[in-house]
């Protein structure tokens, strides 16, 4: 039997009624003859409520104890979902991250998966059980409970799919797939049928929240197709994230239309320096999602606010590195597509359209699969629409 891994996010499990609907969907998939591993997030606002309690107790909780606390959220979901599947006459068993063999680094609240040893999952699948797994958590090599950071349940799902050799991994959420721009920002954004892992990773890195970046990276390395689908639509077609060259769109790119989507980051720090460049680069190199150009004579870098623990402290620390270090607030708009950086024609077209719309850009970054513009925070929406009109719709 073919093995599917399905992941349901917190909004798909917001209350017991929604949890029952997820159970229906799982049982229906089972009835189509699949072996099934189901990864769940914490129900609705559980994580926020637990976090609120922690902050009531102490301003800055220890990350180790926070992991102990937050990891219970997924355990509640998995036990209840397993019970709901029993009630439908199917055999199910819930397993914690640790019981699934999700081995992580020791970095609390932001651990990365190092290894997956899914022996227990395989045993239960062989017995014909539907396996329900607590997402977002693992156990470190020191046997400590760890959590994987934002979007971590996606990563759990893909890592298990890879380790188990699953046919595919389906990520269910409130949205019905990946759009060619954020629909809250670009009103005529359209759902994409398909895109490559590289493109999805660039989108995640540049502001799209629909799939977690590490999850897509795992899927790429394992060559697993990822389906982003809606929980609420019975036959949601959704979007497929596939290895490069899998589909006809590769041909589109050959014909000269490399850009598939626009993404945006509404708030970030924009850092420039001409002296102390080495110190500034070292101070920001830990931020994976930074867009930066570091040379000996100049640094220019954009850091998304959402990835910063303490913006005020970081700003002060950067300014203290030298009198010429400038730190200000900016947004970022990006155009993503396989080979986007290798066609200057599209960069030129976008720059011209932005100029016509009277939208100033602070700087343009050209990457292999992505073009990014640093703009004023107030201009993010307008710039995203202009670039979508110019490079995606046309």
Closest CA to 303 of 261, 339, 271: 271
Quote the least distance from Cβ 231 to a second copy, whole Å: 17
Quote the least distance from Cβ 167 to a second copy, whole Å: 27
Which of 83, 267, 292, 294 forms a contact with a second copy (CB under 8 A)?
83
- Burial 205-239, CB ≥16 within 10 A → b, else e: bbbbebbbbbbbbbbbebebbbbbbbbeeeebebb
Which of 25, 45, 64, 150 forms a contact with a second copy (CB under 8 A)?
64
At 125 the three-state DSSP class reads: helix
Is residue 99 part of the contact set for a second copy (CB under 8 A)? yes
Q: Which is nearer to a second copy, 16 or 316 (CB)?
A: 16
Q: For residue 3, what are the CA distances in angstroms to 6, 12, 218, 240, 310?
A: 10, 22, 17, 17, 42
Tokens representing 391?
């490079």
- Angle subtended at Cα 392 by Cα 253 and Cα 170, rounded to the nearest 5 degrees: 75
Closest CA to 219 of 149, 163, 260: 163
Which of 14, 21, 51, 72 forms a contact with a second copy (CB under 8 A)?
72
Quote the least distance from Cβ 335 to a second copy, whole Å: 44
Quote the least distance from Cβ 309 to a second copy, whole Å: 17
Quote the least distance from Cβ 336 to a second copy, whole Å: 39
Which of 3, 5, 37, 66 forms a contact with a second copy (CB under 8 A)?
66
Q: For residue 350, what are the CA distances in angstroms to 10, 354, 356, 381, 382?
A: 37, 6, 10, 15, 13
Closest CA to 66 of 78, 77, 53: 53
Quote the least distance from Cβ 83 to a second copy, whole Å: 5
Which of 68, 349, 353, 367 forms a contact with a second copy (CB under 8 A)?
68
Site mask for a second copy (CB under 8 A), range 136-165, x = bound: -------x-x--------------------
Q: Which stretch binds a second copy (CB under 8 A): 83-91, 155-163, 247-255, 284-292?
A: 83-91
Q: Which is nearer to a second copy, 129 or 330 (CB)?
A: 129
Q: Which is nearer to a second copy, 12 or 264 (CB)?
A: 12
Site mask for a second copy (CB under 8 A), range 16-55, x = bound: x--xx-----------------------------x--xx-
Which of 5, 13, 78, 387 forms a contact with a second copy (CB under 8 A)?
78
> Cβ of 254: how many Cβ atoms within 10 Å?
10
Which of 96, 104, 109, 372 forms a contact with a second copy (CB under 8 A)?
96
Distance between CA atoms of residues 387 and 382, nearest Å? 9
Residue pair 302/268 in contact by the 8 Å Cβ criterion: yes
Distance between CA atoms of residues 233 and 367, nearest Å? 36
Phi–psi pair at 170, nearest 5 degrees: -105, 125
Q: Can you give the binding site for a second copy, defined by CB under 8 A?
A: 16, 19-20, 50, 53-54, 56-59, 61-62, 64-66, 68-69, 71-72, 75-76, 78-80, 82-84, 86-87, 93-94, 96, 99, 143, 145
């Amino acid at each position: 039997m073919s093995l599917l891994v399905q992941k349901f996010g917190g909004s798909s499990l917001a209350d017991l009624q929604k949890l029952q609907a997820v159970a229906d969907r799982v049982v229906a998939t089972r009835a189509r003859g699949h072996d099934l591993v189901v990864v769940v997030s914490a129900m609705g606002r559980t994580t926020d409520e637990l976090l609120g309690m922690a902050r009531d107790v102490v301003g800055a909780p220890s990350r180790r104890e926070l992991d102990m606390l937050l990891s219970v959220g997924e355990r509640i979901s998995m036990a209840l979902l397993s019970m709901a599947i029993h009630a439908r006459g199917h055999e199910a068993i819930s397993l914690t991250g640790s019981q699934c063999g999700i081995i992580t680094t020791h970095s609390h609240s932001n651990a990365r998966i190092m290894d997956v040893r899914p022996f227990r999952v395989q045993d239960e699948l062989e017995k014909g059980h539907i396996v329900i797994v607590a997402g977002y958590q693992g156990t470190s090599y020191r046997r400590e409970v760890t959590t994987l950071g934002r979007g971590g349940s996606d990563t759990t799902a893909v890592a298990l799919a890879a380790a188990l050799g699953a046919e595919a991994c389906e990520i269910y959420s409130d949205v019905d797939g990946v759009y060619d721009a954020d629909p809250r920002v670009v009103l005529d954004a359209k759902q994409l049928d398909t895109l490559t892992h590289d493109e999805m990773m660039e989108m995640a890195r540049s502001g799209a929240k629909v799939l977690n970046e590490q999850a897509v990276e795992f899927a790429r390395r394992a060559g697993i197709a990822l389906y982003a689908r809606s929980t609420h639509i019975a036959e949601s077609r959704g979007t497929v994230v596939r290895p490069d060259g899998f589909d006809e769109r590769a041909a589109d790119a050959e014909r000269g239309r490399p850009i598939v989507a626009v993404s945006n980051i509404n708030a970030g720090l924009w850092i420039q320096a001409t002296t102390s460049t080495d110190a500034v680069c070292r101070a920001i190199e830990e931020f994976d999602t930074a867009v930066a150009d570091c040379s000996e004579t100049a640094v220019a870098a954009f850091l998304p606010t959402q990835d910063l623990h303490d913006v005020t402290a970081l700003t002060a620390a950067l300014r203290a590195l030298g009198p010429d270090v400038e730190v200000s607030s900016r947004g970022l708009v990006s155009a993503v597509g396989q080979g986007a950086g290798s066609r200057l024609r599209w960069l030129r077209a976008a720059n011209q359209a932005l100029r016509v719309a009277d939208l100033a850009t602070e700087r343009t970054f050209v990457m292999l699969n992505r073009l990014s513009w640093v703009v004023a925070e107030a201009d993010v929406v307008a710039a995203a629409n202009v670039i979508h009109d110019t490079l995606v719709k046309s």
